[in-house]
């Protein structure tokens, strides 16, 4: 790391800056929701394009089927993501109630759980007892510690509504990419299809690059990995459409 970077890192770790960061409410990342919606949107729309092209349908059919798929499947995916996250939150709420009830009914047993949890981390004797006493004096901290340490539940919890909205708009935004060539006038059908395939590949690569940028990893590696995975799914969709067309045309 160069000297300016070291200086910036030192500034970030000054006591006042650390305190400010810790006071800020932590927000769960929505990158996973965006990637999920983007890749699924592009793959399913390209599957429509592949199947329609293989069957010899005109561009207007591809456009109608593609945009109908965007809205219907995008909404379905958003609802599914919402329900999945909400189910997880409901599960966490049930565990919280159980821990609160246990603290009321068997407080010494719950204290012993805290003691053993931190003893396993290497704390001993008076230090261990001070940790147990400090945690168990604050009921909220006690419950949160049990949720995190015993059940592995992160204190940062996703918002079902926010995640579903991000998934829906990512599905619409990236899922529309394979349809762009079919909206352009004057192009032959094979040209539209190959342009659609190329744009889909670029969309996969761009999503991967964005993911790599956010995570601070290699942009080329992240883009290539997403292109490979998304492209494999798109290729599978094309092969299914192609084989079905061959099968039906030969019957």
**Is residue 5 assigned to a domain?**
no
Task: Please choose, from the candidates 211, 203, 210, 212, the residue with its C-alpha nearest in 3D space to the C-alpha of residue 230.
Answer: 203
**Is residue 14 assigned to a domain?**
no
**What would the two tokens of residue 117 be?**
């949890």
Q: What is the DSSP letter of 71?
A: H
Domain coverage including residue 73? 31-239
Out of 184-193, 204-213, 217-226, 239-248, which region has the weakest mean confidence (pLDDT)?
239-248
**Is residue 229 assigned to a domain?**
yes
**Is residue 7 assigned to a domain?**
no
| Count: domains in the chain | 1
**Is residue 25 assigned to a domain?**
no
**Is residue 219 assigned to a domain?**
yes
**Is residue 196 assigned to a domain?**
yes
| pLDDT given for residue 103 in this prediction | 93
**Is residue 205 assigned to a domain?**
yes
Output the pTM of the full model. 0.75
**What would the two tokens of residue 70 be?**
């965007």
pLDDT digits (tens, 9 = 90+) for 69-86: 899 999 998 999 999 989
């Amino acid at each position: 790391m160069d000297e300016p970077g070291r200086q910036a890192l030192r500034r970030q770790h000054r006591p006042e800056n650390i305190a400010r960061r810790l006071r800020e409410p932590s927000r769960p990342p929505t990158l996973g929701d965006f990637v999920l919606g983007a890749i699924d949107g592009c793959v399913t729309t390209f599957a429509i394009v592949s199947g329609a092209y293989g069957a010899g349908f005109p561009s207007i059919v591809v456009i109608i089927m593609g945009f109908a798929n965007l809205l219907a499947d995008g909404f379905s995916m958003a609802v599914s993501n919402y329900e999945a996250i909400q189910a997880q939150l409901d599960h966490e709420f049930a565990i919280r109630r159980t821990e609160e009830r246990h603290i009321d009914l068997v407080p010494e047993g719950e204290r012993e759980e805290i003691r053993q949890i931190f003893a396993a981390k290497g704390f001993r004797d008076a230090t261990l007892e001070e940790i147990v006493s400090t945690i168990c004096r604050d009921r909220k901290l006690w419950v949160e510690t049990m949720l995190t340490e015993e059940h592995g539940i992160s204190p940062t919890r996703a918002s079902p509504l926010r995640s579903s909205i991000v998934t829906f708009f990512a599905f619409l935004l990236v899922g529309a990419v394979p349809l762009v060539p079919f909206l352009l006038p004057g192009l032959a059908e094979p040209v539209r299809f190959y342009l659609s395939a190329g744009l889909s590949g670029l969309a996969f690569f761009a999503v991967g690059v964005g993911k790599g940028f956010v995570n601070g990893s290699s942009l080329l590696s992240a883009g290539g990995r997403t292109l490979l995975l998304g492209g494999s799914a798109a290729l599978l969709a094309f092969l299914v459409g192609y084989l079905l067309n061959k099968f039906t045309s030969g019957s």
